Each structure stands twice: as structure tokens, then as C-alpha cells.
């Protein structure tokens, strides 16, 4: 389910710092997100890729956010990579990776001509939660890709063992309860957004079993002009400007 990652893939790592983030990372090509081009991003330890500013907030808020932060939230929660795990990231034009991404997106979106020319892969590898008294860890991944015209985000959930850090009122022994993790997209315009079903509920721990492309643990979205593929699910919130394909 996961694309290759790690130092042997040339990945960088974010600092071992609670609520930390990467430095501003410049993109080799612009990435279009909700009709706006971005040329840099931050990989935040707390399960967020943001475009304008770092996100050190550890307890997730529901979307849309009033403060205008545009970001992708594969699993926004109180990650503490000091206690365990690593956060890897890289941009790539590796032909093998791009061919795989192209093949998969052509399968998921047969009516959209697409050939990936660039990808950015961020992987949270067995990351612990703040206040953890266990060895529980979550492994998930967000991949951004473009052909310079269309942009997609692929979210992969390999192993989710906890939902909440203790500072978000979670149980230190179980990593559950309190305000659970949030997964989705915030455009930054206070209008357009998407919440993956189960976000901020105990059901989010089952995200490894859900999908909008019939691949358990994988969610895929076209994000240049944001569209949602799949069947509307109770509890998801989609602005009227977004459409179900």
C-alpha cells in the first residue's frame, strides 16, 4: 500500500521535536491545491502537510478552519516523534515511482488522462502519540502528484493503533478517547473543505479498512479543482461547490 520511503530512498526527516515541522520545503514544480498554486510546503509532525505556515497545533479542529490555513491532513493528531517513530519526506521524479502512480490513477480515474511528472511523498513511520505509555505507533503516508495541469493527493493508511494524545484528553495507556484525529482537506477560503468520514470520532481508527477507490486504507482525491470520488457517507461534510463523481 505504501510507496517506498526511508533514507535509502533519499528521504529527509523532520526534527525529533514534539509539535515540530520541517523547514519550508521548496517544490521543483508548482502544486495546485483548490485552484491556487503553491511552490513550497511544510511537513508537520502532527500529521499535516501545510502550504502557507507551519502547523504546531496538536488537537485537531473540524473543517472548515476560520483562520484560512490551507492544508492536507492525512491524520491530524498529537504525534510525538521524540517518543517514537520518524517522519520522512522527499520530492521525486523517479520513473519507477511515477509509472506506478500513473498506472494507479489511470485505474481509479479512467476518464481523466493523466501521466505523473512529479511526486512528493511524506511518510509518518510508526509515530508515537504525546503522553504515550505504550509502544503503539501509527504508519501512514500522503503523496502529492501532478502532471503540471492536474493534481492529486493519495492518502495511504498502513497501521493505525492510536487516535489521540494525552493533551487532547486521550488515554495515555490506550491512545484512545478525547478528541480523536482528523483526516481531510481545508482549502483556506473558509468555504471549501472535505472531512473523511470518521474524522474526530473513535471510528477514525478504522481508516485502514475504508477507501473511496476500493483499496482498503487508501483515499485518493483530485485537488487542483477539488473533487471527491466515491459514495457520500453520513457524517462527511462537503461544500456545495464540491461534486461527487
* Boundaries of every domain in the chain: 7-222
The residue-averaged pLDDT of 139-154 equals: 97
| pLDDT confidence tier of residue 243, bands split at 50, 70 and 90 | very low
**40-55 burial code (b ≥16 CB/10 A, e <16):** ebbbbbbbbbbbbebb
Q: In this structure, are residues 163 and 180 in contact, taking their beta carbons and an 8 Å threshold?
A: yes
| pLDDT tens, residue by residue, 111-127 | 999 999 999 999 999 99
pLDDT at 229 over 80: no
Q: With H, G, I as helix, E, B as strand and everything else as coil, classify residue 35.
A: coil
Lowest model confidence (mean pLDDT) among 45-49, 152-156, 161-165, 190-194: 190-194
| pLDDT tens, residue by residue, 94-106 | 999 999 999 999 9
Partnered with residue 142 across adjacent β-strands are: 122, 155
pTM of the model: 0.93
| pLDDT tens, residue by residue, 159-213 | 999 999 999 999 999 999 999 999 999 998 888 899 999 999 999 999 999 999 9
For a pLDDT cut of 70, what percent of the chain falls above it?
93
Rg (CA), the chain: 16
Q: What is the C-alpha to C-alpha distance for residues 204 and 219, in angstroms, rounded to an integer?
A: 13
Query: What is the per-residue pLDDT for 66?
Result: 83
Partnered with residue 155 across adjacent β-strands are: 142, 219
Query: Which contiguous run of DSSP H or E holds residue 92?
Result: strand 86-92
Lowest model confidence (mean pLDDT) among 73-77, 90-94, 219-223, 241-245: 241-245
Helix H, strand E, coil C: the string for 151-163 is EEEEEEEEECCCC
In angstroms, the Cα distances linking 86 to 21, 61, 64, 150, 242 are 12, 24, 29, 30, 34
Q: With H, G, I as helix, E, B as strand and everything else as coil, classify residue 37.
A: strand
Query: What is the per-residue pLDDT for 240?
Result: 31
Amino acid at each position: 500500500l505504501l510507496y517506498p520511503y526511508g533514507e535509502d530512498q533519499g528521504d529527509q526527516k523532520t526534527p525529533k521535536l514534539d509539535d515540530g515541522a520541517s523547514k519550508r520545503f521548496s517544490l521543483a514544480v508548482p502544486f495546485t491545491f483548490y485552484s491556487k498554486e503553491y511552490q513550497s510546503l511544510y511537513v508537520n509532525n502532527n500529521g499535516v502537510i501545510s502550504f502557507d505556515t507551519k502547523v504546531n497545533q496538536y488537537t485537531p479542529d473540524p473543517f472548515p478552519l476560520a483562520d484560512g490555513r490551507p492544508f492536507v491532513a492525512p491524520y491530524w493528531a498529537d504525534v510525538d516523534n521524540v517518543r517514537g517513530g520518524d517522519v520522512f519526506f522527499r520530492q521525486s521524479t523517479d520513473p519507477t515511482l511515477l509509472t506506478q502512480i500513473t498506472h494507479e490513477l489511470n485505474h481509479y480515474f479512467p476518464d481523466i488522462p493523466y501521466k505523473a511528472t512529479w511526486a512528493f511523498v511524506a511518510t509518518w513511520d510508526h509515530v508515537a502519540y504525546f503522553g504515550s505509555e505504550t509502544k503503539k505507533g501509527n504508519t501512514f503516508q500522503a503523496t502529492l502528484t501532478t502532471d503540471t495541469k492536474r493534481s492529486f493527493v493519495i492518502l495511504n493508511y498502513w497501521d493505525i493503533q492510536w487516535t489521540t494524545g494525552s493533551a487532547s484528553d486521550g488515554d495515555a495507556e490506550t491512545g484512545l478517547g478525547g478528541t480523536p484525529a482528523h483526516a481531510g482537506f481545508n482549502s483556506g477560503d473558509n468555504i471549501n473543505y472535505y472531512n473523511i468520514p470518521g474524522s474526530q470520532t473513535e471510528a477514525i481508527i478504522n481508516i485502514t479498512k475504508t477507501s473511496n477507490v476500493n483499496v482498503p486504507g487508501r483515499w485518493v482525491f483530485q485537488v487542483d479543482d477539488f473533487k471527491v470520488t466515491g459514495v457520500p457517507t453520513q457524517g462527511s461534510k462537503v461544500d456545495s461547490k464540491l461534486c461527487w463523481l
